[in-house]
Amino acid sequence: MTATEAAGPAVVVAAVGASAIRGALVDARGSMVATKEGITPQSSADDLLQAIGTMLERLRDAATRDGHPVRAVGVAGPGSVDERQGVVHRSANLVWKDTPVVSFLEERFQLPAVLLQDARAAALGEALLGAGRGREDFLYTVLGEGVGSAVILGGSPLVGSHGAAGEIGHIRVTEGGLPCGCGGRGCVETLASVSALIRRYILARGQVVSVTEIVERAEGGEAAAQTIWGEAIAALGAAVAAAVAVLDCDLVVLGGELAEAAGAVLIRALGAELEGRLSVVPAPELSIAALGDAAACLGAAGAAFERAGMGRGFRLMEPLN
Mean pLDDT value across the chain: 91
pTM summary value:
0.90
* pLDDT value at 182 more than 90: no
Residue 157: Cβ within 10 Å count: 24
Of the CA atoms within 13 Å of residue 309, those in its CB half-sphere come to 2
Give the pLDDT score at 2: 41
The gap between the terminal CA atoms of the chain, to the nearest Å, is 30
What's the pLDDT tens digit per position in 82-135?
998 999 998 877 898 999 999 999 999 999 999 999 999 999 999 999 999 999
* DSSP string of 77-115, one letter each residue: E-SEEETTTTEEEE-TTS--EEEEHHHHHHHHHSS-EEE
What's the pLDDT tens digit per position in 164-178?
888 899 999 998 888
With 0-12 / 13-18 / 19 or more C-beta atoms within 10 angstroms meaning exposed / middle / buried, residue 162 is: exposed
What's the pLDDT tens digit per position in 243-298?
999 999 999 999 999 999 999 999 999 999 999 999 999 999 999 999 999 999 99
* pLDDT value at 1 more than 50: no
Encode 231-266 in three state secondary structure. Answer: HHHHHHHHHHHHHHHHHCCCEEEEECHHHHHHCHHH
Q: What is the DSSP letter of 293?
A: G
